[in-house]
């Protein structure tokens, strides 16, 4: 099985990579930081020696780099069974007061990255008439909230992309799952004072993505919503 995971050097992406590697999957992963990416790959392969990991440092918010990563995947692994569009970033703000250019940055990173990479990989998946695409949306895709601003807008757009893509891919036997996690304890929460036990672990998301990818061809989890047991922060 060939699994592509973007934004895989840490957080949810890293946890998903670890989970698939434990099952012997071939991984193609990317992150913006080459140093962090290579460290993650080394740690994954040391722990899961049955897994092979291809890496390419890329900022998928840049269309040219997203297309280059797609080409790298096809040249390295030849096919894609599971694509996890996880790359993203968060800038808090409000529509009326956030800095000029924030919307463009959020759209580039949180929407266009998935759009452009998916378009490179779809022809091969459609030819094989199989595959599963996971788009890492957010609770912010479902409900507007204070200080969400352009981040929430971009995540609403990613949810819309997921819905449209799912309908298009049904005749090609390609599944599309939109994942809507609430607060997950990643580096962004470090030093925030939030108790790690109050919010979810990245491994929770990884476990569910892996399990959903193993369902029978005739079953598709279209949307997956996860929240901390005590609710959103």
Per-residue pLDDT reduced to its tens digit, 39-52: 999 999 999 999 99
**Predicted pLDDT at 186:** 83
**Predicted pLDDT at 105:** 96
The DSSP-derived string for 160-172 is HHHHHHHHHHGGG
| Mean of pLDDT over the chain | 95
Q: Is the per-residue pLDDT at 177 higher than 90?
A: yes
CB 28 within 8 A of CB 72: yes
The domain spans of the chain are: 2-226
What b/e string do you get for 67-100 counting C-beta neighbours within 10 Å, with b at 16 or more?
Answer: bbbbebbeeebebbbbbbbbbbbbeebeeeebee
Catalytic residue ranges = 151
Per-residue pLDDT tens digits for 67-96: 999 999 999 999 999 999 999 998 888 999
84 phi-psi bin (left φ>0, alpha ψ -120 to 50, beta other): beta
CB 39 within 8 A of CB 9: yes
Instruction: Determine which helix (DSSP H) or strand (DSSP E) holds 100, and give its type and residue range.
Output: none
Model confidence band, residue 38 (pLDDT cutoffs 50, 70, 90): very high
CB 199 within 8 A of CB 25: no
**Predicted pLDDT at 185:** 85
The CATH number of the structural domain formed by 2-226 is: 3.40.50.720
Return the axis-axis angle of helices 113-128 and 63-76, rounded to nearest 10°.
30
Give start and end residues of each alpha helix (H) in the chain. 11-22, 34-47, 63-76, 102-107, 113-128, 149-169, 202-213
Per-residue pLDDT tens digits for 100-151: 999 999 999 999 999 999 999 999 999 999 999 999 999 999 998 888 999 9
Q: Is the per-residue pLDDT at 173 higher than 80?
A: yes
Residue count of the chain, please give it. 233
């Amino acid at each position: 099985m060939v699994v592509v995971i973007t934004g895989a050097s840490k957080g949810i992406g890293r946890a998903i990579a670890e989970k698939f590697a434990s099952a012997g999957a071939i991984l193609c992963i990317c992150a913006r930081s080459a140093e962090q990416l290579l460290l993650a790959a080394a740690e994954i392969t040391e722990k899961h020696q049955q897994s092979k990991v291809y890496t390419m440092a890329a900022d998928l918010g840049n269309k040219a780099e997203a297309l280059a990563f797609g080409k790298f995947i096809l040249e390295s692994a030849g096919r894609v069974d599971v694509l996890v569009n996880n790359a993203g970033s968060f800038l808090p703000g409000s529509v009326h007061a956030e800095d000029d250019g924030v919307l463009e940055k959020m759209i580039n990173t949180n929407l266009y990255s998935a759009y452009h990479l998916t378009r490179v990989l779809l022809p091969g998946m459609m030819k094989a008439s199989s595959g599963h695409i996971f788009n890492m949306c957010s609770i912010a895709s479902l409900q507007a909230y204070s200080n969400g601003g352009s981040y929430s807008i971009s995540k609403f757009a990613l949810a819309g992309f997921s819905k449209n893509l799912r309908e298009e891919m049904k005749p090609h036997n390609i599944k599309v799952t939109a994942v809507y996690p609430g607060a997950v304890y990643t580096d962004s929460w470090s030093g925030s004072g939030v108790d790690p036990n109050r919010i979810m672990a990245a491994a929770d998301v990884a476990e569910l993505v892996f399990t959903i990818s193993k369902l029978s061809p005739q079953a598709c989890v279209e949307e997956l919503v996860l929240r901390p047991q005590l609710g959103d922060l």
